[in-house]
Amino acid sequence: MGFSGTGKVWMNGSLVDWPDAKIHIASHIIHYGSGVFEGARCYQTPKVSAVFRLDAHMRRLYDSAKIYRMEYRVDRPALTEAVLETIRANALKACYIRPIIYRGYEALGVNPLPCPVDAAILVWEWGAYLGPDAAERGVDIKVSSWNRTAPNTFPALAKSVSNYASSALIKMEALLEGYAEGIALATDGYVSEGSGQNLFVVRDRTLYTAPLSGSILPGITRDSVITLARDLGYRVREEAIPREMLYVADEVFFAGTAVEIAPVRSIDKIPVGDGTRGPVTADIQRAFFGVINGEVPDRYGWLTYVYPEEAALRAPTAQPAADRR
Ligand SMILES: Cc1ncc(COP(=O)(O)O)c(C=O)c1O
């Protein structure tokens, strides 16, 4: 098996061994994509391991579940604590975190309502999503022939399993044609997002990114970039981006939990700027990696320490309140 996994998986309140973390083939999620999930990252900081924006991720998870009428019996604070418990149980210093809430086994009709709402939390070590050089050298991408879903079809604001059927089409097309990623346009023809990451375009030191109405997932990294960029004095505009703006941009970069911040060096074989990482992208990367690596003060309360007592011992100041809204 290519993916050996980790030690323990949290399933409905129990920590079970990775090979035993199974559900029945008749579970509703398998047939109808009735699940919502999150992807967060835990980083090793000089103090102790910390999860980046855990509260924001858990809020989006419960928002996604609400959109799909899934009420999980464990509330958000308790499931948030379960994430930390799962990291501790696996003794991982840095990892990717995947909580999932889904419809389980009861009935096999389309109607999900009779099926139980179950949840699991997986954690595993996951390095650079687009390869070890991506953060510095950038990636070559294409505009996908697939559009993102139209408004009022699949809800883009929900991080739903079903949305990733679209992502898989975009990703496979890009890979099979020799690109690292694909960018999808929305059905109105404006730039939406990558298969698993948001996109920023830089021109004349202004950052542009698609608005929430652009069939995008409201990325937590996107939100962090907007905050950090404004802090650094850049203008940020959330507005419709015409496709051709990609070809005349000074810089383009991806933002997402898996990809972190990765420059794009060409789109449809047209170099972005001079084809190397630009100064604005580098500036944003410095600010972002400074926070996640614990090298600069956590001004926004974005880090949730996995071992808070140990973190408190190593710092005279208390951990700031997390970014719960
Ligand atoms: C389709 C899509 N867009 C954007 C993102 C970026 O979101 P985030 O920064 O919260 O990881 C992701 C990552 O999960 C994604 O799958």
Confidence of residue 152 (pLDDT cuts 50, 70, 90): very high
Q: Which of 17-26, 123-132, 236-245, 250-259 has the lowest mean pLDDT?
A: 123-132
Ligand 1 center to 194 CA (angstroms): 9
User: CA torsion angle for 161, 65, 96, 266 (degrees, to 10)?
Assistant: 50
Q: What is the DSSP letter of 318?
A: P
- Is residue 293 classed as helix, strand or coil in its secondary structure? coil
According to the model, what pLDDT value does residue 315 have? Answer: 65
Q: Which residues pair with 141 in a beta bridge?
A: 181, 267
**Average pLDDT of the segment spanning 261-270:** 98
Phi, psi of 245, rounded to the nearest 5 degrees: -65, -25
Answer whether residue 221 shows pLDDT above 70.
yes
Higher-scoring residue by pLDDT: 147, 134: 147
According to the model, what pLDDT value does residue 47 have? Answer: 83
Percentage, residues of the chain above pLDDT 70: 96
Q: What are the tokens at 263?
A: 């420059």
Residue nearest to atom 15 of ligand 1 (CA): 196
Answer whether residue 235 shows pLDDT above 90.
yes
Pocket of ligand 1 (CB under 6 A): 39, 167, 193, 196-198, 217, 219-222, 256-257
Dihedral-angle region of residue 274 (phi above 0 means left; psi in -120 to 50 means alpha; beta otherwise) = alpha
Answer whether residue 324 shows pLDDT above 50.
no
Ligand 1 center to 107 CA (angstroms): 31
According to the model, what pLDDT value does residue 107 have? Answer: 95
CA distance 147 to 117: 31
According to the model, what pLDDT value does residue 132 have? Answer: 82
Residue nearest to atom 3 of ligand 1 (CA): 197
Residue whose CB lies within 8 A of the most ligand 1 atoms, among 51, 58, 257, 284, for a mutation test: 257
| HSE of 36, CA atoms in CB hemisphere, 13 A | 24
Model pLDDT for residues 59-79, shown as the tens digit of each residue: 999 999 999 999 999 999 999
Q: Where does 232-294 have alpha helices with state H?
A: 279-292
According to the model, what pLDDT value does residue 4 have? Answer: 78
According to the model, what pLDDT value does residue 310 have? Answer: 84
**Average pLDDT of the segment spanning 102-115:** 97
According to the model, what pLDDT value does residue 1 have? Answer: 52
According to the model, what pLDDT value does residue 323 have? Answer: 53
pTM to 2 decimal places: 0.95
Model pLDDT for residues 307-318, shown as the tens digit of each residue: 988 888 776 444
Pairing of strands 251-256, 270-271: unpaired
Q: Which residues pair with 256 in a beta bridge?
A: 260
Confidence of residue 87 (pLDDT cuts 50, 70, 90): very high
What average pLDDT is seen over the chain?
Answer: 95
Higher-scoring residue by pLDDT: 128, 43: 43
Angle between helices 220-231 and 279-292 (to 10 degrees): 110
Confidence of residue 3 (pLDDT cuts 50, 70, 90): confident
**Average pLDDT of the segment spanning 156-178:** 98
Identified catalytic residue from 93, 159, 171, 269: 159
**Average pLDDT of the segment spanning 120-147:** 93
Residue nearest to atom 16 of ligand 1 (CA): 196
CA distance 208 to 246: 10
Answer whether residue 278 shows pLDDT above 80.
yes
Q: What are the tokens at 237?
A: 């505009």
Ligand 1 center to 310 CA (angstroms): 31
| HSE of 201, CA atoms in CB hemisphere, 13 A | 27
CA dist list (Å): 4 to 8, 123, 126, 144, 268: 12, 12, 12, 32, 35
Ligand 1 center to 228 CA (angstroms): 18
Active site residue 159: yes
3-state SS track over 115-170: CCEEEEEEEECCCCCCCCCHHHHCEEEEEEEEECCCCCCCCCCCCECCHHHHHHHH
Answer whether residue 34 shows pLDDT above 70.
yes
Residue nearest to atom 7 of ligand 1 (CA): 219
CA distance 216 to 196: 10
**Average pLDDT of the segment spanning 205-210:** 98
Most distant pair of Cα atoms in the chain: their distance: 57
Answer whether residue 101 shows pLDDT above 70.
yes
Q: Which of 134-138, 173-177, 198-202, 214-218 has the lowest mean pLDDT?
A: 134-138
